[in-house]
Structure 1
C-alpha cells in the first residue's frame, strides 16, 4: 500500500506502538512503516486478523466475523491492487431478506456493488499485509500503558516493552477505554469513546459433512446469503458458496444484536442449541450438523460511530483508530487506520 504522494517523511524515525492487529491496526502500521517510521504491532491473538478471523473446523473454514467487504474508497482499491488475486467477488446475485419463517421479503442487491472476500478465508487479507511488517508480535496483548520522560511503555502479557514515542490503539472503542482506565490515563478524547456504541454478536458455525459439492446442488434453500428478521438471527451465509472454499456444505449464522446482547452471558452450548433451532426454522435444513460451534464477539458491530476517522492527542502522544470511528464496515477500519497514519506523517509527530 504505497504512501500518499502528499505525505511528508518525518525528520527522524519515530517509534510507534500499535495495539491491535486487525484491519485498522495493520493499515496504520503499513502506512507508517512505508513512510520510514519504526512500528511495533502488538496483537493478543496468535495471528493478525481481528474481526476478519476465520475458524477452522473438521468440515472446513468459517468466516466467523466479517462476511465480505465493499470497495468504495479509491485508496482501499489501490491497496488491494498490491496483492492481486488475493480477493475475489463473491457472486451472490441477491442478498435476500427473510421473515422469521424463512419467506423472502425482498431480494435486491445494492446497485453496482460487489461483495468481496479474501481467499482461502477472510483473514487472509489482513494476514498477508501483516506478514510484511517487521514489528508484528502476536500473543502479546497489552494490559497497561505508562510513560516517563516522554517515552511510552507498554506492559503486556509477555512482558514490558519500552521506548515508544507514541501509542496508537487499534481496538474496539470499549476495549480502548478499558485499557486507558486500567492505565489511569485521561486523554483529550477519552470522553468521546464513551459515546461510541458497539453491539455484541453470537456467531454459529454449522458443517454438514454428508453434503459435498458439486455432487449435491445445495442442501436446503436455493440461496447463498440472506438477512433475516427472525428475532434470533440477522444473517446467514453458505460458506461453501464463497470462492476458494472447501465444498463441504457449511453455514455461518450471525445472531441479531438485540438477541446477542440479551444472551451475552449464556454458555456457547445453550446459544448453539437455540440458534440451530432458529436456523432450521429459516432454512428448512433439519439434518443434524456433523460439526457445530458458537462464538461470541463482545464488540462486533458499531451502532453509534464516533463521526470522525481517528482521534489523536499530540500532547500525550496517544491516538486511536478503528471501524467504530466511521461505521461498521471493514473498509471503515482501513480508512481509519490509513488516515491516522497519514496525519501523523504529515504532522511529523
Structure 2
C-alpha cells in the first residue's frame, strides 16, 4: 500500500491536490472585503451563537433558527453528536468503506461501531434493516448520501423508509449530505423532512459547493429537541466557530452565482475524467459528485507511486477499506489535464 506522508501535505512537491476533495477558492470582491473587515476584529471573541450565520442558513433552507446547529466543520459536528449520544458503550451504524470520521468519533467516545455492507458500491436499505435487527441496541445510524468515497446516491424515498423504520427502535438517523448539492438537493435531500421525522438529523457542509474548506464550517439540521442534546455538550466549547468563518459563511450562502459556478466546474472536471476512464476501459464507479473512485491497479500496479513522483496526490482508499481503489477530485483544468495524461501514459504499462 502506498502511504501518503501527510493527510493534507502542503510541501512544494505536491503540485496537484487530487486527494482532498477540494474545489478551489473562488474568491469574490465581497468575500475579500469581508475577510479584510473581519481581520480588523480578530482581537475580539466571536459570537458564540453564530447568530447571523444561523439565521442565514435557516432562511437558505426555509427553516427556523432553532433547527440549526453550526460547527467548526462537519468533523466537529459528528464528534459532538457521538459525544452526546454514544455514552456507556452504545452503538452506531455506518456503511462499509465510508468516511472514517464516523468510526473514529464513535470509538473515541467509547461507542461501538457496527459496519453495514455495501451492495455494488451503494448503500442498501435491506442491509441497514438487517444489521439493525441483529443489533437492536443501536443509538445512531449514519448514512452518507452521496456516499464518500464511492459517489453513489440513495433515493430520498429510500432514506425516509429507513428513517421511519429506525424510529420504531428509537434510533437517530444522521444523513450526511456534504456532497448533496452536486446532484440536485431538491430531489435527493431529506433536509426539509426534519419536522415530520423526530429521529432525523441532516448534516451539511460549506467546504464543498461553497468552497470554504479552509474556514471549517458545517452544520446539523433537525428538530430543536435533538439539537438541544448537542448544544448541551457544546457548552464546553463556547467559541467553536471563529469570527472570520461566520462572516464569510454568510456571504458565501447568499452568492448563488458563485455556488452554481463551483458546481458546474466541478461536475465538468469529473465528467471529463470519467470519459477518459471509459475510453481506456479503466474500472471506475460512476459518480454524482466532484470526485471519482477508480481502480488504480487497472491502470498499472505502481500508478499511485508514479503520480506522486509527478507531484500528483490521490486518495488511496485502503483507508476506507477499499484496497486497490483510489479517489480523485479536481480544482482546475490543469489538474484534469495532468491526471488524464498520466492515465494515457501508464495504462497497460
User: TM > 0.5 between the two?
Assistant: no
- What TM-score results when the alignment is normalised by the length of structure 2? 0.28
Higher helix share: 2
Higher strand share: 1
